[in-house]
Amino acid sequence: MLDRIPVALAPTDLKDLSLAQLHAWLAELGAESYRARQVARWVYKVGVTQVSAMTDLPKALREALEQRAQITQLPNLEVYQASDGTRKLRYQLHDGAVIESVLIREPKRLTLCLSTQAGCRIGCAFCLTTKGGLRRHLCPAEIIDQIIQARRQLEPSEPLTNLVFMGMGEPFDNYSHTVQALRLITHPDAVGFSARRITVSTSGVVPAIRKFGAEGLRVNLAVSLNAPNDAIRSQLMPINKRWPISELLAACRDYPLPPSRRITFEYVLLAGINDRAEHAEQVARLLHGLRCKINLIPFNEFSGAGFHRPSAETVKRFQAILLEHYLTATVRESRGREIGAACGQLAERPPQIPCTLDRAPTIG
């Protein structure tokens, strides 16, 4: 029977349901258990936005779903194209909030950088996103739909290979929605993305790092370090006053890493602030014995930042010192800077820099 519950006042967003919730919800409608896999395939793998498109569902079930459910998609998509192939996807949500995600094309990978919040309240001094504060958390549907929308921008021959939760917001400040989104993203009956190719970045919310390690998601963890000591880190990242480096690294040392995995420490290099040789030596001592790698990020400048990008020679010297201490240290190549799509440049306001704008086609 498909008439066991009354029509809901507000339709249920299918992308906001976990797989278990979807099973239970469809069971209340009287649907067989295997219908949840069919619905999930249409929503996440095919990317339909109308229940009527789910052609292998019985007509009665489709009619019930049309009355009770909706499949939302992020509205008002604009696509900014950089000369290096980077694309910034910008959405103005129904409540006026703005979020951005970034498609980063590299020789052997195609990465989507996802947002988990509209804005951010962490307050890192070198990040444009946080300048406007936190507008709101994103729900699981809004996080996941960034993947679905991004895939629509790609040719069938260019699949997404990696996901990084390094866009707007602090993922662990929106913990429950981030985790629910990750469970759907990695579930084979939903998005079906490999956990090994997903990285979640945090500014250092220590209790959440410990909790996240127990979730069993087996995705990669990245931690924004950005300073060699508490004095500098507290100036750059107010969160350090709550959870200083010693507590942060203790949580990292306790983190249950899968075999052959390492924690990534992100380090934004700011000219004259945290990029000296003695700072590199301090970082090497801090990370000694940790199963990790260091991703050096030369600062991506924006108007009013108050910081500057270090010279290429300074970056190479910093990296060389870390390598001398037998640490794995790479330099992240900045992509999409001309369209405000590089690390630390995502923001609610429209970009005030030259860019090429292509409006995406309307997709039903």
Give catalytic residue positions.
100, 343
**Kind and range of the H or E run holding 113:** strand 109-113
**Token pair recorded at residue 344:** 């630390």
Q: Which two tokens stand for residue 141?
A: 């549907």
Do 138 and 118 touch, CB atoms closer than 8 A?
A: yes
d(CA 143, CA 208): 19
Record the tokens describing residue 189, joined without a space. 């009956």
- Helix ranges, the chain (H): 19-28, 35-40, 59-68, 140-152, 175-186, 206-213, 230-236, 239-242, 245-254, 277-286, 312-324
At how many degrees (to 10) do helices 312-324 and 277-286 cross?
40
Q: Which H or E element spans position 296?
A: strand 292-298
CA-atom Rg of the chain in angstroms: 22
User: What tokens does 92 get?
Assistant: 């103005």
Q: Name the region of 216 (left: φ>0; alpha: ψ -120 to 50; beta: rest).
A: left
In contact, 191 and 160? CB cutoff 8 Å? no
Instruction: Centre a 10 Å sphere on the Cβ of residue 339 and count the other Cβ atoms it contains.
Output: 25
Residue 94: count of CB within 10 angstroms of its CB: 10
